[in-house]
Amino acid sequence: MSSSHLRQEHALNYYDVRMMLDQKSFWAEYEPIIDMKEGGIFGYEALARFSLNGVCVPPSPVLEVAHHAKELFFRLERELKETQLQHRPNEGILFVNIDPHNFSDTEKINYWRDLFEEIENICVEVTENTDDMQTALLSHCLDELQKSGIVIAQDDIGNDKKPFCFDLTHRAHFLKFDRTWLLKMRLCEDYKEILKGFLSFAKAQHKRTILEGVESEEDFALARSLGIDFVQGYIFKHLNLHSPRSMHGDGKR
């Protein structure tokens, strides 16, 4: 594989994912979340990055493969979170993603409770990595997070490829709107009315809102006009803020 990215014809399998974990061929990247009122960095989302035999691999196929092997999936999620927490930026709240399927039994629940119980400034984004949403499992995951007093975010709102659950919307402290809203609103301004409905609900419920994928001054101005609380993305380049940190699990990219 000569390309710097995984070729489409190379389908990942169980052993590829296990090899990446065994060789520590993963790392964390931290994408900034900017406070629209204060103008500074409010926090970061920890993003997982992978490589296989020196080739960059997108997160989606890795998570998809692991999702079909329960213990491998838990190991993947566990090692990613430990890396993300170990190398987190010193300032701001850290947003980390967890799939409800990794709250499927007492052992897993106890692990997450022990991991997060003494960590400050943490928010768990409850994220379905596939379209296999099981509402009972999601509800159980939310119950456990709330028992532990962990701040919750709903991720990927508006992403047509991800399932949506109003119970999660109701329980979340942060509502995170997918980057595809920016494209939707450019194609049809009436999509703003749908987003405004979510924003009105968030305001009434004292929830805070984040728009992802903001990478231009035009995007930033649109978010401001809508009254969104925070934006996430690489707009920092235009605002003279610090760039996102990246830390490799194996010391190399």
Contacts of 131 (CB under 8 A, 6+ apart): 161, 162, 163
pLDDT, tens digit, 9 for 90 and up, residues 3-23: 455 554 468 999 999 999 999
- As a whole number of angstroms, the distance between CA 206 and CA 200 comes to 10
- Residues 6 or more apart whose CB falls under 8 angstroms from that of 187 comprise none
Average pLDDT over residues 33-50: 95
Query: pLDDT exceeding 90 applies to what percent of the chain?
Result: 79
Q: Residue 240: left if φ>0, alpha if ψ -120 to 50, beta else—which one?
A: left
**What's the CA gap between 54 and 89, in Å, rounded?**
26
3-state SS string over 129-141?
CCCCCCHHHHHHH
- Per-residue pLDDT band for 130 (boundaries 50, 70, 90) equals low
Q: pLDDT exceeding 70 applies to what percent of the chain?
A: 87
Asked if pLDDT for residue 51 goes beyond 60, the answer is yes
pLDDT tens across 92-101, in order? 999 999 999 9
Residues 134-183 pLDDT 10s: 788 899 999 999 999 999 999 999 999 888 999 999 999 999 999 999 99
108 and 49 Cβ atoms separated by less than 8 Å: no
pLDDT for the residue numbered 2: 39
Map 46-107 to HEC letters. EEEEEEECCEEECHHHHHHHHHCCHHHHHHHHHHHHHHHHHCCCCCCEEEEEECHHHHCCHH
Domains of the chain with CATH codes = 14-236 (3.20.20.450)
- Confidence band, pLDDT 50/70/90 cuts, at residue 131: low
User: How large is the average pLDDT for residues 213-238?
Assistant: 90
